[in-house]
Amino acid sequence: MKHAVAIAVLAVASRARAAPAPSSPAASPASTPDAAPATDADGPTPAPALAPPGLTAQVVELPPPTLRIKPAVSSERLAGELGVGLVAGGAGVFLGAIGGAALGYGIECGGGCSGEFAGLGGIIIGGGLGAYVLGSVAIGLGVHAIGTIGDVEGSRGAAIGGAFLGAAVGGLGAAVIEATKGHDGASSQGLDVLATVVFVGGWVGGSVIGFNLTRSARGAPAIGAAVAFDRGHASLGIPLAVHTHDASYLTVAAGRF
């Protein structure tokens, strides 16, 4: 009986030692209204780095770019471009017509031809094409030569291409004018003069416009020119307004290809 009582007492004592001690309300951090959440002694945990290990990201502040605006077009320069382009174009049309006519005749009658109008078609087509091609090239070269005097540069290709396009537009305008002619001799003669002026003006004027769209100060980026040609490359520029915390300035996003 004594052994049984002793075993029971030992069992109760062991259970008392194994049971967890009840926590008092004062010792519980959740029950304390003024308890602050635990924080890191060294401050907040830094965000994970986005760069690969071993690489350090650096922010480099660049100064605003210095822009050189292209010089304004003077009336004297425009008159010189139009005048020299007109004279050069006249010489190009004359030489192109002669050379083209001879080439066209040789192509048509190279194997022999006979008849009253033999070779006439080759002469007309060849002469017309030669006058158009060589005249456009001569106009573009003349406009470019005068336009690049001084500290100004521009695209020779744009001047020549503008002449080709201007001749097509001027020819279309002249054809429309000729189509409106009546049977009155005086009015018909006046319309013929107007059609000639429109055609020649479009031919030379197209070259002047094409050149001045690409002109800029020599050695400077073509600010204000949407398309620029330089040393066999074409450049496309888009103006951008950049705003920072302490300054605002104008820059250009440009691509060269």
Q: What is the 3-state secondary structure (H, E, C) of 116-149?
A: CCCCHHHHHHHHHHHHHHHHHHHHHHHHHHHHCC
pLDDT band at 33 (very low <50, low <70, confident <90, very high): very low
The residue written with tokens 């888009």 in the block is: 238
Does residue 27 surpass a pLDDT of 60? no
> pTM for this structure?
0.59
Is the model more confident about 44 or about 232?
A: 44
In the numeric block, which tokens belong to residue 69? 């605006």
What are the DSSP calls for 12-39, one per residue? Answer: HHHHHHHSPPPPPGGG-TTT-TTPPPP-
Cα–Cα distance measured from residue 86 to residue 135, given in angstroms and rounded to the nearest whole number = 9
The residue written with tokens 């537009």 in the block is: 169
Contact 16, 10 (CB under 8 A): no
Is the model more confident about 238 or about 40?
A: 238
Contact 177, 187 (CB under 8 A): no
pLDDT in tens, 92-124: 999 999 999 999 998 888 877 877 778 888 899
pLDDT at 8: 41
pLDDT at 31: 46
3-class secondary-structure state, position 251 = strand
pLDDT band at 220 (very low <50, low <70, confident <90, very high): low
Does residue 170 surpass a pLDDT of 60? yes
pLDDT in tens, 34-73: 544 555 555 555 555 454 555 554 555 555 554 445 677 8
Does residue 84 surpass a pLDDT of 70? yes
Cα–Cα distance measured from residue 18 to residue 20, given in angstroms and rounded to the nearest whole number = 6
Mean pLDDT of all residues in 188-213: 93
pLDDT at 117: 77
pLDDT band at 16 (very low <50, low <70, confident <90, very high): very low
Residue-range domain boundaries for the chain: 75-110+117-220, 225-257
Q: What percent of the chain clears pLDDT 90, i.e. is strictly above it?
A: 39
In the numeric block, which tokens belong to residue 233? 């490359």
Cα–Cα distance measured from residue 148 to residue 150, given in angstroms and rounded to the nearest whole number = 6
